[in-house]
Amino acid sequence: MRLLIFGNLGGQMASATRMAMERGAKVIHADDQATALDALRGGQAIDLVMVDVAENIKTLIQAMEREHISAPVIACGVKNDADAAVKAIKDGAREYIPLPPDPALIAAVLAAVTTEELDMVSTDPAMVKVVRLAEQIAPSDASIMITGESGTGKEVMARYVHTKSNRAIMPFVSVNCAAIPENLLESELFGHEKGAFTGALARRIGKFEEASGGTLLLDEISEMDVRLQAKLLRALQERVIDRVGGSKPVPVDLRIIATSNRNLADAVKEGTFREDLLFRLNVVNLALPALRDRPADILALSDHFAKKYAKANGFPLRPISEPARTRLMSAHWQGNVRELENTIHRAVLLASGPEIGPEALITPDGADFAAQAAPSSSAVQKAAMTAEAVTRALVGRTVAEVEQELILDTLDHCLGNRTHAANILGISIRTLRNKLNDYASQGVSVPQPGQARVMQAG
């Protein structure tokens, strides 16, 4: 977590800071309110603000509210300064920590801040079952595999497990294995020594060392190269890593959580994922159900997001009207919880009356949200007839020809976004890249990111 200290770092305040750092917090110090606000406006979110009671806590909190900056403020002061403690709470501080600081109290405050925003919203039995399993195994150090469709909340679940673990106040570090090129992922994970390769001008600490003591999330691990999987397996088995270009192993102590939206058993059969690594990672599997398979959570999540984004944008909390709730329940939610969250976020911004009505439920491009509702029986019948016509049109064509057209049309639909296209097609991004390289070598037009395909004349 990231901690902002505002005030004099001399003496007992410095002791509180040191205790927080020993428990994994990254600390930023501000001598005055202007510097504190600059830090709070920065690109990296501040999880907690600790303020000396000698500072003007009220004006700081008022400035944060004006700029819609949301971070809990904790006041710190000497034990016998009861009046200052009462005033700090009245001025908006969340808690008061007496100085000199008690290590257990500092640890409790840090743990409370890391968990308060991560309570899982789950009322549907299908999701409640998964959450209970997560809470049961969280205190252990067992590796966990979290699976589910895109948008089901795999990273949120990973963070939840971390906050319920014995490592909660230590670092939580996430690496998206699909977003980092293969030739850079090894250095990202394990770090490198100065001169290890061209451009390695200094030693770099990798994510394994950064997460030591805490939890490392390997997001979309199915996209990791097989060669790198072997090095990861050694790190898991022996609890040591080798920096790129390093001459001696570096010990690490962390918990691994991995996620995938693919069936890794199939990846093992295809030879793109190591079976021994899967066994090592998949000690416990948390399979997150799609939102359409946990319908009792739709309205609970909608209310949660409405409250969250009203607070984040400084808007009054508006209840979701009954017609809007009916429409939310009728949607298919192909994008799962992520799609629902974005829909409610837009609705909070667009609602104008005392309630969030159905008119505020629109798609990102402004279209009527009703079009996203589950199809009627007549629509299903029409779709079936269309599908039959499409099937007939495919007769006489090779599988390779049909596959190429499907891949390129999907990529065109995603405006060249390979990650989105691979998710829709149900293949790894590596497989998609290889096929696109083959098509390009044959002179076929391949959409680039942000572009539509240039159709070639026949």
Q: What is the pLDDT of residues 320-352, one digit of tens each?
A: 999 999 999 999 898 999 999 999 999 998 998
Question: What end-to-end distance do the CA atoms of the chain give, in Å?
Answer: 58
Q: What share of the chain is helix, strand, coil (3-state, %, to 5)?
A: 50, 15, 35
Instruction: Quote the tokens at residue 26.
Output: 């990254």
**Would the pLDDT of 455 be above 70?**
no
Question: What local confidence, expressed as pLDDT, does residue 457 receive?
Answer: 41
pLDDT, one tens digit per residue, over 97-122 is: 887 767 766 666 666 655 555 568 88
pLDDT of residue 290: 95
pTM score above 0.75: no
DSSP 397: S
Neighbours of 454 (CB within 10 A): 10
184: burial class by Cβ within 10 Å (0-12, 13-18, 19+)? exposed
Q: Which amino acid is at 186?
A: E
Radius of gyration of the chain from its Cα atoms, rounded to whole angstroms: 26
Q: What is the pLDDT of residues 158-213, one digit of tens each?
A: 999 998 998 887 888 889 888 887 778 888 899 888 887 777 777 788 889 888 88
Domains along the chain?
2-116 (3.40.50.2300), 134-287 (3.40.50.300), 292-372 (1.10.8.60), 392-441 (1.10.10.60)
* Amino acid in the structure at residue 437: N
135-142 CB contacts, 8 Å cutoff, 24+ apart: 135/164, 137/161, 137/284, 138/162, 138/164, 138/165, 139/164, 139/165, 139/166, 140/165, 141/255, 142/255, 142/283, 142/284
Q: What is the average pLDDT value for the chain, to the nearest integer?
A: 83
263 contact partners, CB below 8 Å, separation of at least 6: none
Q: 3-state class of 51 per DSSP?
A: strand
Mean pLDDT value across residues 426-430: 82
Residue 63 has pLDDT above 70, yes or no: yes
Q: Angle at Cα 365 formed by Cα 352 and Cα 329, nearest 5°?
A: 65
Q: What is the pLDDT of residues 26-41, one digit of tens each?
A: 788 888 888 888 888 7
